[in-house]
Amino acid sequence: MFACTRRLGYAGLGKSAIKIRSAGGVERGFVVIVCRACPDPPCAKVCPVDAITLR
């Protein structure tokens, strides 16, 4: 999302492909952190199962 914002000049979660839905009656307490498209992502370095990789 942030990479698109830099390229296209507008931002908003409305265009995000990330959707959060509640399951089992949980209505609050979620925190969504979207990818910030860092050139050297610290999250990928610390992921213990290599689930996050730089494209």
Interval 3-45: pLDDT, tens: 666 666 766 666 666 666 666 666 666 666 677 778 888 888 8
| Long-range own/partner contacts, residues 10-18 (CB < 8 A, 24 or more apart) | none
Query: Does residue 23 lie within any of the structural domains?
Result: no
Cβ-proximal residues to 37 (8 Å cutoff; 6+ apart), any chain: 2, 3, 6
Banded pLDDT at 52 (limits 50, 70, 90): confident
Instruction: Report pTM.
Output: 0.38
* Beta carbons within 8 Å of 18's beta carbon, 6+ residues apart: 1, 32, 34
Q: Is residue 24 domain-resident?
A: no
Give CA torsion, residues 12, 18, 23, 27, to 10 deg.
Answer: -20
The domain of 9 spans 1-18+30-55
What's the pLDDT score for residue 40?
A: 84
Q: How many domains is the chain built from? A: 1
The verdict on residue 25 lying in a domain is no
